[in-house]
Structure 1
Amino acid sequence: MKKYILLFIVALALGQTTKMYAQKNSPIPFLQRFYTQYIRSIDRMFEQDQRDSLVATALTQEAHEKVYRLVAATDADPLLRMQDARAGLEKTFRARQLKDGWYEVSLGEPAEQVRIPLHVTTVGGRYLIDFITPAWHGDAYGEHLRENPLAQATSVDNSSEQAFILSFYRLYLSAYLSMSKDLGAILSGLRERYCTLTTIGLHHERSESGDMDDGYYDVLIDNVDFDPTWVSSLKIQPATQGGRYLISYMQTTGGQPIAHSILVSAVKNDFVGGYRLEVHKQDGAAPVPTPKPRITEEDARRMQHQYGDH
């Protein structure tokens, strides 16, 4: 009997030690430290570059690059899913493990709580956030949100105009889905290689006009970013204008789906062979970016109640 009691005590002690070890090595303390510092930096009105430096210490370079595009897409901070943070918000911080490297951060009082799924990895022996679920996916999490369904697209097909256009878009969108820290340079390189000078000029014109989507608007996709869950809706079909095609996809943002369409053509490149993509202004007018998926009226009321008017 004493032997069994001793074994029970040892097992209990081992279980407690394992639990303490797991808690000590959990990324939750890291998340709490970061969120506390980040929220206080906003409350204390740190300069943007100071807050940006703080974010750079907690996110991978790839996730940091993605944050800029999510801000441009939603007009809200993806780390908070809010446009601002009130004093003391860090005191409401909670976090729990969902599965594997997925965790859920929650902020705010229970009646107005915001839940943000994110993925944590280790780099050089320290924790870093390498993915934040976009607001339009709500509390969803899982590898399907991070995957690249177009990863096998590595070249263009010059066998026909339609084959070229579709293969180019698969290659171009794959770059978005790869979440590279050098995404801007990669996209620029693809445009330089496969687009006409007219399209390159149009891209610069539309991305740099005023503060449109903070310079991230891409005329080739009529958007500032692309989500893997939109890939299945990607289509190409002949347009009513001869020799032109319509690239389209549906942007699902948790509310009413947003339809995107881009009028394009494949221009024969007699100098080096193959084709180059040309984007056309539809209906003879400059393309107007599709409105951003704004926060809902319910979110706006909640934010006004929680943070007041700013």
Structure 2
Amino acid sequence: MAAVSDQLVGAVIAQSKELLILLDPDSLSFVYSNSAAESSLGYEKGEICEISPHDLFPEFSVPELTALIENLSGSEAKHLSMNTVLVSKLSGMRDYMLQLQYVEVEQKKLILVNGHDVTERMAETDQMQEMLASVQMNSMQDPQTELMQRVFFIPYLMGGLEQAEEREQPLGVMLLDISNLQDINSAYGEETGNKVLKHIGQIVIRLVDCREHACRFSGQKICMLLPSATRSSVQDLVKQLMRAVGRLSYAGYPDLEIKPRMGIWFGKHQADPETLLGALGVSYKEKKAKGDDLLVLLSPELPVSA
């Protein structure tokens, strides 16, 4: 087979459809870019060699780029692949799949950066991940309130209990009881009762730290996880809940009244989440039987081993 001259190889590289850039690792400057790199990123001929690597690779500062080069030189393979963003003068940030490797040009070691634009592919992947996350979240939600189902809420409660013990800060758990939901269902129909549950669920989602911190505890009760809760923060939450629930109204049912009641527990010690929730339910039921207080402090009896 006939030998291919260096000039011919250079001409082929220059015409490659892939981005090709040569980086001098000693001066941390670009010494060559092919036409594909310039045209795809919107730079004039030779312009890439006039800018700093950080201006083209914004995710890497000079120390980070130096460390990357050191890792590359220390690698047995002498090459690495990565996803990063490049600054395009045409369309801002673009996602690129790049490969970096050492090459020798005129007895000098340079770093060859070559790769291609994967922005659209990354966008499709992100969209698919968002769709999967949405489907997963929907499967974890109670269909009526759009809050977490109790079984999926348990890990978040367990995490809250562990953090409360580590930080020695109280964790708050609140039960919100729509005490007259059965009366609403009887007087106005279950469809109206479901609307009430949905609207209260939306109110709760707005007020808790994150969506995973609230669940459908039982038929007419909602459970909320309140990290680092204090008495004053709970009082503020109760006021906001009462104000928002009091504003709910339903066309055709001007006399429909929603009667929310709440129970709050403070704790900073480990407990089995299911055991705690069960004990909170019992404690709340006992307190509810004794009076009509809007807010009661729950003091469940937990097993010594919990």
TM-score range, shorter chain: under 0.3
Task: Give the strand-richer structure, 1 or 2.
Answer: 2
Instruction: Give TM-score, length-normalised by structure 2.
Output: 0.25
Larger Rg: 2
